[in-house]
Structures are given as structure tokens and as C-alpha cells.
Chains A and B, each alone.
Chain A
């Protein structure tokens, strides 16, 4: 088998680009195995002289990772389940029930994408307070359930599903709920996967909203806990590196399991949560 020059050049270029992307991650990973005294040695070394897990150990003992993992997992999983379900219902209704009010409603939902999350934060905070959800995980989950992006994704998808399919089901005597659960949801599986992955990522990495809503350390999510390693004047780099690697593990696992869907989902990236 022989390679022509036309194949070799792009291949080299792609490998070089891949290496460029990999390099910071590799540096980050290797640094997490260095003791604090080696992080800033001159000249810089890629590999640790003295391999150590002390950063990980301190991070694990100093911070209650189990609690933070559990809290973050609850928030990410519960809000993802609700987000997917609510978006699917709403998207279905907006695509398949033609009614002037429904169309206006859809317009209103779309308009909300114009407002950055930060702008509506004070009013959302007031609502959360009024509902007595301050300092509870529910206070993070509920405001994040409804995303215009998710609704829009489902609506656009259901528009492509021919109306004849629904009419056939109705003639066969299926009710609206049955149509939705048995017919529509199964064909929307790719969209469900994409939105679920997005939503999980968003919630896992959420920072500012949990910070505002949560007051009790036992309810902290991972990102707030990580942030507290950065002190007023000093940063404990060794601990921060160890803790960051630990916090990445679930996302890496998620990627490995859902690799195919995630690669497909990137086509629709650039959407906001």
C-alpha cells in the first residue's frame, strides 16, 4: 500500500493539530503528579522528577468530595431528566398543535434566548426566595429545567416528523399521550441524547447560580468547592491540580460512554443553555 503526497501532508497537519490540542491537557495531567515545589522550577520540565500523589491526597482529605460529587450528580441528573422531558413535551406541542396562541407562546420562548442568564438572575433569585427554595438543591434544579434551546431543538425535530404518522395513529385509536410516549419519544431518541448530554454538561459545570443559591457547605456542588481552593493572596496549585483532575473524571467517563452521540451533537454546538 502506498501513500501519495496528497494524503501525507493533510495527515501530518492533522496529527500536528491534534498534538497541539493534547499538549496543555498532558501538561495539566503530568503537573498534577508533581509536588508543589516542582511546579515552577526553571527550566520547565514536562515530566515530574519526583512522582507524587500528595496533591490528590490533600485534595481528597481536605475537601469532602463524596458530598460534592453526590450533590453535583443529583443536580445534573435530576435537572437533565426534567429538562429532556419538559422540552420534549413542549417541543411536541409547539410543532404539532397549530393554534395561534401556541405560536405566540413559541415566540415568547424564543425571545427569552435574547436575555443572557445573568440579566434575569436577580429576578430569578427573588422568585427562588419567595418559594422558599433558597439554600436547597431544588433551587438550582428548577430554574434550569426550562431551556429555550431544548424546546427549540425538539420543536424543529418534530416539525420534520410527517403529520400523516400522527393521523394514522389517531385513526388506530391511540390517545394523545400514547402517541407522544410510544411514537414520538422513540423517534426523537437522537435529540434526547444530544440534549441530555448538553444539559448534563451545563449543570455539571454550573458555577454562579449554585454559588448564589447555596449557603450550606454540605449542599455545595463541585465547582464551588473547587473555587474555594483559590485563596485571597495565594493559590495552592498542587491541591488545585489534584482536585481539578478528580472533578474531571465523571465528565471523561461520560464522554467515553456516549462518545458517538457527543461527536454528533457538536454539529449543533454554539447553542446557549
Chain B
């Protein structure tokens, strides 16, 4: 048996303390006014690098460096929450939604809002009139057809809102005959998302599961259950594959196989389709209306300026510059954004007619869609709702499609969960 002698112990202790000290060189956060202004976002490189291009232009014009930090989308919220705890927030963020964790650390953007005029309902004020965030750009739900299949089957479809826009019954009938004529797999696929489902509900006389005027409760009108029943019935493995909603099969990939007549998705697919579909022609068409013409549109993300970085003024200057009509049109063109401010004309590189159709669809949507968005944003800006785990509307719809519960029960259950988050 050997016991440790003092010298050995001392040496071991020294070695143990030296190791971390050596590795600790470097690090620490910097927030001096001269440091580059950090702009944290997600997916810029995938969307054509619009923000990176604007940062470069800004550097040329002003000599101020904007550093674009591209974070994986699923982790953006976690990341900024942690950065907020670590007191290391970026100067600017492009966030999927407003988070109560950092809501009170945002700079008031009401002055910028007055100047750039975002589309009404796409931004919100809290009780004191503070505007915590501005919409970065809009996205809207829309429909794509596999043009080759429809032409091959000789089935007609509307191409603009001037035509007699079809009803869902007419659309399903047409799409089914395209499927049968071509011997393909399915008539329609729809993304597994409550955003798309809500759009479908709007077109079927429902107003979705929406907040009431004083933000105290979620409600659904009488047409909602019937509309959801219709959607559930469409998931019959003939019109629509059940695999998309039940087991998360990728509808985008399915549409690309050419085995699907129509794809109910949204404006963000255009750039991907231009680059990655070569086997067939595709078109954007007006979505069916039964009886209501509507699309679910909203801010793709929220631009926020964070407090306590020592760079608030530089960040504000950049945001103002970014939203100036000329620059905003440029980034919209590069990244394929639908503009979120009024009176900006964008000439896109590809498929101008598709973007025009989306803008027309937004303009033709009933007022309640904008109202729903502004109430959602007002709730976020108030920061009073508890965060939801998952997406009640989507998750309950999935149960209904699986046949576990009825559409009526799904609506009741989703309302219950949404209202619980308000309590």
C-alpha cells in the first residue's frame, strides 16, 4: 500500500489547475460600439443570401460592418433565449415570433414603423404604444399544379382571380380526373401545418380558431367543424395521402416526383421549384373558394433590435436603411420575398407572374385574416400568453385524420389547449 506523498500531490494539483487555464485563452463577449453589428437570423444562405448582400452594400455605403449570423432555424429561439440569459444578445434579430423571454429587452421601433409603413395588421403595439418588432417579409399560402399532367389530361384550371375561381368541389373533381387520366398516385398534397390548414378553413367559411377582440379567448365559428370534417375526409389515400399528416412524409418531395396533381403550400416554394424541378412544367393557380376567396398570409419573421448591446443606434440606422423602398425592393428581389411594406414594387428574377398572383391573393383576402394576425401579434407583444408545446390545431387534426377522434372533438380539444395558454 502506498500513500501519496506531499510533493506528488502538489504537482498533481498544479497540473490539474493549469490544464483549464491553458485552454481558457480566448473567448468573452464584445459589445464595443466599433465592433461589427451582429444580425442573427436563419436560412439567409438558403434564400439567395439577400441579407448578406445588403450587409455588403451597407458596408460599402457607410463603412459600418453588419455581421450576419446564420443559425439553424429550429434552434434560433433557444439560441437567442440563451444569449439573452448570457447578456450577449445580437444587435438585431430576425425571429420567427416574439418571445416573452426577451420581449422587454427590445428597442421601440415605432419611429421606424411610422417611416416605413408596414402593411397594417402585420405589426403590433403594446399598451404603452411600443412597437417591439417589424415584419421582415410576408409569406402566403398558395397552390401549385403540375401543368404537364393537367394539360395531358385536358383539364382546365383558372389562372387569375378574374377567371371564375373554382370551388373546392370543382377543384377536387378536376384533380381527380387528372389523377385518373394520368394514372398517378394522388390528386393533392398539403403541408403538415396549421398555417396551411387554417387557410383551407378560411376558404370553407370558417375563420379558424381565432382570438376574440379583447384577446381573452379563442373561438371557432359554426362552419369550422364542417370544414375540418371536409379536410379529414380528403385524407383518404386517394385524393390526399394520409402519410403526409400522419407520418410526416415530405409533400415537397412528393410533388417533385411528378406523381401528384396539385400541391397546397406557399410562396416560399417558388425559388426551390425554379431551381429543382426540371422534369415537368408547374404553375401557381388561385386556390379554391367555397365560398370564400382567402389566403393565410402573415409576416415570415419579425425584425427586432435588442437593448443593452451598446449598438442600438447603429442597429436602428441599419434597419431604417434596410426598409428604405429601394433597398427593400432589392432584398425582396434577391431573396424572393413578398414585401411587408406598402407601396414597394419588386421586379423578380424569375416567375414574376407567380409572385403577382400571391400579391393579388393577399389583396383579395377578407379583412378577418389581417385581423387574426394583428390579434396574434398583439398577444405576443403583450407577452402574457404561456408558450404552447406543439401546435394544438395541427396535432388535433392529425388525431382526427387517424380516426381517433371526430372533427368536432378535435376543434373542442384544440380550443381548450389554446385557451389554457391564455389562462
CB closest residue in chain B, given A239? B46
Cα-based distance from A138 to B20 in the complex (angstroms): 8
Q: A62-B45, A129-B86 are in contact. Are A37 and B69 (CB under 8 A)?
A: no
Asked if A97 is at the interface (CB within 8 A of a chain B CB), the reply is yes
Cα-based distance from A177 to B268 in the complex (angstroms): 64
Stretch of A16-24, A223-231, A265-273 on the interface side? A223-231
How big is the B interface, by class?
Answer: 35 or more
Which residues of chain B (41-90) have a CB below 8 Å from chain A? 42-43, 45-47, 49, 67-75, 78-79, 82-83, 85-86, 88, 90
- On whether the beta carbons of A230 and B73 are closer than 8 Å, the reply is yes
Interface string of A105-133 (1 = CB under 8 A from B): 00000000000000000000100010111
- On whether the beta carbons of A215 and B29 are closer than 8 Å, the reply is yes
| Residues of chain A within 8 A of B389, CB atoms compared | none
Q: How far is the CB of B71 from chain A (nearest CB, A)?
A: 7
- On whether the beta carbons of A176 and B278 are closer than 8 Å, the reply is no
- On whether the beta carbons of B19 and A86 are closer than 8 Å, the reply is yes
- On whether the beta carbons of A230 and B1 are closer than 8 Å, the reply is no
The total of Cβ contacts below 8 Å across the A-B interface reads 142
| Residues of chain A within 8 A of B74, CB atoms compared | 227, 230
Q: How far is the CB of A130 from chain B (nearest CB, A)?
A: 10
| Residues of chain A within 8 A of B1, CB atoms compared | 98
| Residues of chain A within 8 A of B12, CB atoms compared | 89
Cα-based distance from A72 to B208 in the complex (angstroms): 47
- On whether the beta carbons of B266 and A212 are closer than 8 Å, the reply is no
- On whether the beta carbons of B88 and A231 are closer than 8 Å, the reply is no
- Quick one: which of B8, B27, B28, B277 has the most chain A CB within 10 A? B27
Asked if B423 is at the interface (CB within 8 A of a chain A CB), the reply is no
- On whether the beta carbons of A215 and B69 are closer than 8 Å, the reply is yes
Asked if A247 is at the interface (CB within 8 A of a chain B CB), the reply is no
Q: How far is the CB of B146 from chain A (nearest CB, A)?
A: 12
Partner of A134, one of B25, B86, B272, B275: B86
Asked if B317 is at the interface (CB within 8 A of a chain A CB), the reply is no
| Residues of chain B within 8 A of A134, CB atoms compared | 27-29, 86, 88
| Residues of chain A within 8 A of B24, CB atoms compared | 131-133, 136, 138, 142
Asked if A196 is at the interface (CB within 8 A of a chain B CB), the reply is no
CB closest residue in chain A, given B46? A231
CB closest residue in chain A, given B89? A215
- On whether the beta carbons of A136 and B82 are closer than 8 Å, the reply is no
Partner of A228, one of B15, B43, B96: B43
12 more contacts with CB within 8 A, not counting A136-B28, A229-B46, are A37-B276, A39-B253, A40-B253, A86-B19, A97-B2, A166-B2, A170-B2, A215-B90, A216-B69, A228-B42, A232-B43, A232-B268
30 contacts between A and B (CB under 8 A): A37-B256, A37-B279, A38-B278, A40-B253, A40-B254, A42-B257, A86-B19, A89-B12, A97-B3, A131-B24, A133-B24, A135-B29, A136-B24, A136-B27, A136-B28, A138-B24, A138-B27, A142-B20, A212-B82, A217-B67, A224-B72, A228-B45, A231-B42, A231-B43, A232-B73, A232-B268, A233-B191, A233-B266, A234-B272, A239-B46
